[in-house]
């Protein structure tokens, strides 16, 4: 039984590791199609990762141990975070070890290390990137927690497993309060994953970059780990969103048929979310940095509205 549990956990981790670059490729391909370009194909991120892994990394003279350790820490935290989310099945040994709040904390651990590593070399871009990344992070955190509170109040617990079990039991209905929370969640996801309109993942424009400024000095396998970690992060955020707002199809039992359906359904959810992300990124322009607080403030208020709705109408 326990061996089975851990096998399921292991399979989910491998699934995430394998699929995360595909998701990144899918989003890029969708964006290319929307912009009437041919695109580099779905497999491009895999090729890039392989190329980076094979290359000899370059480490600056001034780098401390923190700089070298950070890619491993970021990658590890993202992989562990992916193991905490019930994406396919609720029977995961690790999902019981942490609730949604811990998950938010795990992400902020990775963010803090990334910011510290960017400051390690004492470059202007690095420290400015660190400052901006932390700014977006601490503004997103209250909004994210507010989003989590609505389902937590409906199900009486902040554990994702309990939330999924409770919400899925009620059948395919969308609570009005959850609709508000879902919109807020999308906004938080955009900010936390350095996507448009908060940050442009495709640019190294010095004045606007946030996420890219943190990895400027990384190369070779270190950069591969960071890029892969970022892809997993997006994957996990979509996984959390699916668990909170579309929990149907997540395997409640332990049958292999149920698991197979769950994998298929989750892949479909991923594809939809990825396409939606591409549409958002195509339609919206990048915000100025000091509009980001307004953006995340809006997300926060939407989440609060959802919460009030839940109190006032009980839905």
Give least dist CB 240 to other proteins, A.
15
Classify residue 58 as exposed, middle or buried by CB count within 10 Å of its CB (0-12, 13-18, 19+): exposed
Sign of CA dihedral 117, 123, 127, 129: negative
Choose the binding region for other proteins from 24-32, 148-156, 169-177, 272-280 (rule: CB under 8 A). Answer: 148-156
C-alpha to C-alpha distance for 39 and 26, rounded to whole angstroms: 10
Interhelix angle for 220-245 vs 256-283, to 10°?
110
For residues 4 and 204, which CB has a smaller minimum distance to other proteins in the complex? 204
Query: Which residues 270-299 are close enough to bind other proteins by CB under 8 A?
Result: 289-290, 293
The two three-digit tokens of residue 177, written as one number: 């309060």
Residue pair 23/44 in contact (Cβ under 8 Å)? The answer is no
Among 33, 44, 125, 275, contact with other proteins (rule: CB under 8 A):
125
| Spatial distance between the Cα atoms of 107 and 236, rounded to a whole number of angstroms | 10
- Per CB under 8 A, 154 contacts other proteins: no
What is the chain's Cα-based Rg?
19
Binder among 12, 29, 70, 77 for other proteins (CB under 8 A): 77
Nearer to other proteins, 23 or 92 (CB): 92
By CB under 8 A, what part of segment 5-34 binds other proteins? none
Q: Does 72 bind other proteins (CB under 8 A)?
A: yes
Per rule CB under 8 A, is residue 208 in the interface with other proteins?
no
| 137 is a site residue for other proteins (CB under 8 A) | yes
Q: Cα 311 to the chain's mean position, in Å?
A: 29
Q: Does 134 interact with other proteins (rule: CB under 8 A)? A: yes
Q: Decide whether 42 or 68 has the Cβ nearer to other proteins.
A: 68
57 or 276: whose CB is closer to other proteins?
57
- CA 77, 180, 158, 252 torsion: positive or negative? negative
Query: Which residues from 174-203 bind other proteins, rule CB under 8 A?
Result: none
Q: Is 135 in the site for other proteins (CB under 8 A)?
A: yes
Nearer to other proteins, 26 or 149 (CB): 149
Contact 245, 253 (CB under 8 A): no
240: which residues sit within 8 A by CB, 6+ positions away? 85, 100, 103, 160
Stretch that binds other proteins, among 28-36, 91-99, 188-196, 246-254 (CB under 8 A): 91-99
Q: Given the complex with other proteins, which of 37 and 54 has the nearer CB atom?
A: 54
């Amino acid at each position: 039984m326990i061996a089975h549990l851990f096998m399921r956990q292991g399979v989910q981790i491998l699934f995430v590791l394998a699929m995360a670059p595909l998701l990144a490729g899918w989003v890029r391909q969708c964006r290319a199609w929307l912009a009437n370009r041919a695109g580099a194909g779905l497999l491009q991120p895999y090729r890039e990762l392989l190329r980076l892994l094979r290359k000899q990394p370059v480490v600056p003279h001034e780098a401390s141990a923190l700089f070298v350790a950070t890619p491993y820490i970021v990658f590890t935290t993202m992989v562990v975070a992916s193991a905490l989310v019930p994406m396919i099945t609720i029977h995961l040994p690790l999902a019981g070890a942490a609730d949604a709040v811990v998950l938010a904390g795990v992400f902020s651990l990775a963010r803090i290390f990334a910011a510290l590593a960017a400051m390690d070399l004492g470059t202007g871009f690095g420290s400015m990137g660190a400052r901006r990344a932390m700014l977006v992070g601490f503004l997103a955190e209250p909004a994210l927690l507010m989003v989590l509170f609505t389902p937590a109040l409906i199900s009486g617990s902040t554990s994702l497993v309990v939330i999924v079990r409770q919400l899925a039991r009620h059948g395919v209905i969308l609570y009005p309060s959850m609709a508000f929370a879902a919109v807020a969640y999308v906004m938080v996801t955009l900010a936390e994953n350095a996507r448009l309109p908060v940050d442009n993942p495709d640019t190294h424009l010095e004045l606007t970059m946030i996420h890219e400024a943190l990895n400027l000095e990384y190369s070779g396998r270190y950069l591969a780990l960071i890029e892969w970690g970022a892809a997993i992060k997006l994957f996990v955020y979509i996984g959390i969103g699916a668990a909170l707002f579309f929990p149907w199809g997540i395997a409640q039992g332990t049958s292999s048929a149920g698991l197979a359906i769950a994998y298929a359904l989750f892949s479909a959810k991923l594809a939809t979310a990825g396409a939606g992300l591409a549409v958002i990124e195509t339609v919206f322009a990048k915000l100025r940095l000091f509009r980001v607080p307004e953006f995340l403030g809006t997300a926060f208020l939407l989440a609060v509205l959802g919460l009030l709705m839940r109190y006032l109408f009980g839905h």
